[in-house]
Chain A
């Protein structure tokens, strides 16, 4: 074990991620934080946004998805009202920056999209449909889609220097990239058009050549789901029909913004196998989609405060003290230090799986905090830690 510990890659194997350069760059308008759940994504996004406002004087908005209650409160977010609210009491006098924060309200964002694309009467009809209700609140991917929709809206308004986005705690970190395409494919799909056809007037259309298959399909669907469901669905689809083009266009627009040079993706991970694997997978996907990956933020990293004694030396010394008797306090300190040194080695090996696969991606490690962060001071400290050379 000890022999292999020496093979642990050094911390500077990857180029160092310079977060301040990104936050200060007026050409960077969007920072997207993504990664597996439970790695401190929301905290990282909030800390970066705060730093952009306080240190770099940028008019910043942070879009959070599902922040911990106390973190939300620290940003002055007491309710889910889907509108950016300015965070007060910050240290922005010198820089002239501003920080605004908002929590995504998925359903309301969806409602807004509907209202924007149709007249009030039709919108009311859509809102009343049980399918819309199910889809706007629980559709797998709606949250991801609406996060991107909200990003598109904030971007289009042009009133922000920098938009920092936290991504939803998805089943997989890829969902938010795929969701817009999936949703628009779905809304634009063959099945919907088939279902829609009976609700249209003069519905000969494409139907003539698929009538046989559709007859079978609709029979099965009626059997399994019931005729009422089919009627609701058909109504839903008919009502949404006018919006299809709009949906697809918006999804494509957001996708293009994400590919542009004004966007910087930051992968957030912790030195644990699952989180690192997810980050590596995501880095590969971003490369495929030609989306600008700026770097990796590795949270919750443990490092001993002093390199010597190493784990083995500490444990041997603790053993000597135990045998000689006395010095219980020191024994405890040495054992804790050995455990910390071993954990640090383990974490380095896990993190190396990413840096080996993506040696050119800049990375930065952020030390594990002894207690959780839920106030602005804590966020400031995290921001400083991410930026420290």
Chain B
């Protein structure tokens, strides 16, 4: 794909940032949402990069590919001639690359690794580890060839809500340890990008109590640290409950008979119980939805995919995401 053929505006009006950080409580499907967003933003001949930083190989599992190396690779095509590339950032590799860039280490870098120095350096100070990971993401986000940025958007499958504040707040962590030197400079550059309108942190949730609570807490923390909060993405959502109450058992019995189904006591009571549980669940979902609205952030709801997240499902989520205004 030649650069000149790529459109210059973002794929969706609701996604003006260039770096999209996707977080959420574990189990909310943030990897799927991040992948769908990268796919959606690549539509129409654009190019995006989907990045993971936790060594989980979640992207490879989602797409059914071999484990991703520390290398930007073609992941999949997007409709309309777009492309999604993927990268699994590894802190050790990032440090080596970084040292090589600044100090032309070459073979000495490999010797350091053999010696355990790299493992050591990334282990001793978690803040250092995070600044290497986010530093790589920053580099990919701002990299350009000629007049043109290499990626129209970078989507980061970030650590979960419980760790996101600390992960992004790299300057605070490294400032304690490195008071001068290139690590400090590096972390300041990352911090500036993450607090600029170029970045947005999106929080994925389910309509369940704990994920919603963590969403509320994470947004408060991100806001306090000065990170631009983007969207709240409600994954696996069902439409709000239509008004009205559960049908009575007598009414249900007549309905079942009219449909030619068995209408014995056990069947009627069983189906009625299911409907009641369902209504209780929906009621809770509606009240949680109201809690999310109170956050005052734009909310995007993604439908529950009954068949699980396959390629067609991802495409459906991608379309739903970029359609958000």
Contact = CB atoms under 8 A, between A and B. Distances in A.
B180 A275 contact: no
Contacts of B112: 216-217, 220
B80 to A, nearest CB: 29
A332 B247 contact: yes
Contacts of A39: 27
A191 interface: yes
B281 to A, nearest CB: 5
Interface string A315-343: 00110110010110111111011011011
Given A217-B117, A343-B306, A140 B126 contact: yes
Contact of B160 (A133, A169, A186): A169
A189 B120 contact: yes
A46 to B, nearest CB: 14
Contacts of A223: 103, 181-182
Interface string B180-207: 1111100000000000000000000000
Nearest to A331: B255
A190 interface: yes
A370 B274 contact: no
Given A336-B275, A370-B277, A134 B259 contact: no
A101 interface: no
Interface stretch (B42-50, B141-149, B265-273): B265-273
Contact of B259 (A38, A226, A320): A320
B286 to A, nearest CB: 13
B54 interface: yes
B296 interface: no
Nearest to A343: B306
B56 interface: yes
B262 interface: yes
Nearest to A329: B247
Contacts of A375: none
A224 B267 CA distance: 71
A229 interface: yes
A232 B162 CA distance: 29
Q: How many A residues touch the partner, as a band?
A: 35 or more
A109 B248 CA distance: 56
B28 A216 contact: no
Nearest to B162: A169
A340 B267 CA distance: 15
Contacts of A331: 255
B261 A313 contact: yes
B178 to A, nearest CB: 5
B156 to A, nearest CB: 15
A272 interface: yes
A318 to B, nearest CB: 7
B177 interface: yes
B258 A324 contact: yes
B237 interface: no
A224 B126 contact: no
B13 interface: no
Contacts of A306: 266-267, 270-271
A325 to B, nearest CB: 10
B254 A340 contact: no
B176 A69 contact: no
B270 to A, nearest CB: 4
Contact of A36 (B27, B116, B258): B27
B82 interface: no
A37 interface: yes
A225 interface: yes
B129 A346 contact: no
B251 A370 contact: no
A182 B126 CA distance: 14
A372 B280 CA distance: 11
A272 B208 CA distance: 16
Contacts of B316: none
A373 B116 CA distance: 46
Contacts of B120: 186, 189, 191-192
A273 interface: yes
Interface in B128-160: 128-129, 159-160
B274 A336 contact: yes
A333 B274 contact: yes
Given A38-B25, A371-B284, A171 B179 contact: no
Interface string B109-122: 00110011101110
Given A140-B126, A220-B99, A308 B262 contact: yes
Given A370-B278, A371-B280, 10 more contacts: A37-B27, A169-B160, A171-B159, A191-B116, A223-B182, A224-B103, A270-B27, A305-B270, A337-B274, A370-B277
19 contacts: A36-B27, A69-B213, A131-B177, A134-B126, A138-B173, A189-B116, A191-B115, A191-B117, A223-B103, A224-B99, A224-B103, A228-B180, A306-B267, A326-B258, A330-B258, A334-B259, A370-B278, A371-B281, A374-B209
Closest 4 CB pairs of A and B: A38-B27, A330-B255, A37-B26, A329-B247
